[in-house]
């Protein structure tokens, strides 16, 4: 047994009970961020609650919840910003909560995001705990909480809702609960376009499981273990144990795979029919926002332009370093043999975020759902003495809280 507990076998304590310290730690970090935002906003004469619930994309979501789809803004340059670009699950939940409580649509959006962020924290813990043990699970949740743009997790945005659905869908795959994985993936696909990442993870894991099962039938004495535990990054070797997930019947795996794409495909096809643009009509809606996928060319040009003057060159260096860090962390996860569903999910999220052709300032929050990329850092941070890890995490929490308050009272999420 190494000093760091990276067990993959499930302890006797129920999962949700093991997740309590991580969720409470997450809530404390977010409470700090909200408190600093409130103080900062009051000093500037602005409303922190308005920044969280009635600015930027929050307005688009509440408008969908209140009036439905069909609203658009035509800009002087000819661009058309249609609310069809915003997937429906968050507005549906806002409408439902508004209907059964006295809350306004904006209030409902804040409550949904608040609850979803706690569910996301629990889901991240579940995934990390499954792979590396509870200490890494706790650290991974806290790292996600102290991201520089972590304040978005408390806004009436869809990032927290999507991350919760994605994390629990991935956990369901890892534990052989294929029907749950498919349903959660379908719901994630109704939340954000990046729901395709969850669908891809479910499908790749499913195809591999069928392939290994077929191969085992032709190999006498072969043992099927479609979810072998991953070693800790950095060379640590955990006590290995076969996955405790029951091998799901083939029909459950197949049905889970069939359910997974229904949410995203259903909404995209509905938009195409609604706009008359056919199956690719949603891409036309995104084009109206000047958003698309160009393999990262526009983002590369955006970064390159930063080096045309000295002050902006510092920002350019920061962007290059951030992208390099993301790639290094992902490669570390690959070398550390993370479960394939995590690698597929993270890879698709990174690709879609970094290779989008517009809204470069949004990329940090678009990358937020890629929580598995934090696992190598969580393993490293979980190794020192708890007091040292707590000190580092507390420092990061203060920095994130101050930056979040500064950011929302300045340019904010575009």
- The residue ranking higher by pLDDT, 127 or 16, is 127
What number of residues does the chain have?
414
Residue 318 lies in a domain: no
* pLDDT band of 45, cuts 50, 70, 90: very high
Please state, in angstroms and rounded to a whole number, the distance separating the CA atoms of residues 280 and 268.
8
Residue 342 lies in a domain: no
Please state, in angstroms and rounded to a whole number, the distance separating the CA atoms of residues 255 and 23.
32
Residue 360 lies in a domain: no
Please give the residue range of the domain that contains residue 189.
15-290+371-408
Residue 115 lies in a domain: yes
Residue 341 lies in a domain: no
Number of domains present in the structure of the chain: 1
223-274 residue pLDDT tens: 444 444 444 443 333 433 333 345 788 999 999 999 999 999 999 999 999 9
Residue 393 lies in a domain: yes
Residue indicated by tokens 């989008």: 356
What's the whole-model pTM score?
Answer: 0.91
* pLDDT band of 360, cuts 50, 70, 90: confident
Residue 204 lies in a domain: yes
Instruction: Summarize the confidence of residues 310-321 as an average pLDDT.
Output: 89
Residue 161 lies in a domain: yes
Q: Which two tokens stand for residue 379?
A: 């393993």
What pLDDT sits at residue 220? 57
């Amino acid at each position: 047994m190494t000093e760091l507990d990276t067990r993959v076998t499930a302890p006797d304590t129920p999962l949700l009970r093991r997740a309590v310290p991580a969720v409470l730690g997450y809530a404390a970090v977010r409470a700090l961020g909200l408190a600093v935002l409130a103080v900062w906003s009051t000093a500037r004469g602005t409303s922190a609650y308005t920044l969280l619930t009635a600015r930027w994309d929050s307005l688009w979501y509440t408008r969908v919840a209140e009036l439905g789809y069909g609203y658009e803004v035509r800009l002087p340059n000819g661009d058309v910003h249609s609310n069809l670009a915003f997937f429906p699950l968050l507005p549906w939940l806002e409408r439902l909560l508004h209907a059964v409580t006295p809350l306004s649509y904006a209030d409902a959006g804040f409550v949904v995001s608040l609850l979803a962020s706690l569910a996301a924290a629990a889901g991240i813990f579940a995934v990390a705990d499954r792979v590396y043990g509870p200490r890494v699970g706790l650290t991974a949740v806290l790292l996600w909480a102290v991201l520089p743009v972590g304040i978005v997790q408390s806004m009436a945005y869809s990032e927290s809702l999507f991350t919760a659905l994605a994390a629990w869908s991935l956990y369901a795959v890892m534990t052989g609960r294929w029907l749950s994985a498919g349903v959660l993936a379908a719901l994630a696909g109704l939340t954000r376009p990046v729901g395709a990442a969850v669908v891809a993870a479910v499908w790749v894991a499913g195809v591999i499981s069928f392939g290994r099962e077929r191969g085992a039938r032709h190999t006498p004495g072969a043992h099927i273990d479609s979810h072998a535990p991953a070693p800790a990054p950095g060379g640590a070797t955990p006590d290995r144990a076969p996955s405790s997930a029951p091998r799901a019947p083939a029909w459950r795996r197949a049905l889970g795979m069939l359910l997974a794409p229904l949410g995203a495909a259903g909404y995209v096809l509905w938009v195409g029919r609604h706009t008359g643009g056919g199956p690719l009509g949603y891409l036309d809606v995104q084009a109206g926002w000047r958003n698309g996928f160009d393999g990262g060319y526009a983002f590369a040009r955006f970064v390159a332009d930063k080096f045309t003057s000295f002050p902006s060159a510092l920002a350019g260096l920061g962007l290059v370093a951030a992208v390099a860090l993301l790639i290094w962390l992902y490669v570390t996860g690959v070398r550390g043999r993370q479960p394939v569903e995590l690698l597929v999910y993270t890879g698709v999220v990174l690709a879609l975020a970094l290779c989008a052709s517009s809204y470069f300032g949004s990329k940090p929050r678009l990358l937020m759902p890629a929580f598995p990329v934090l696992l190598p850092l969580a393993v490293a941070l979980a190794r020192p003495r708890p007091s040292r890890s707590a000190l580092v995490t507390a420092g990061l929490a203060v920095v994130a809280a101050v930056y979040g308050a500064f950011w929302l009272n300045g340019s904010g999420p575009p």
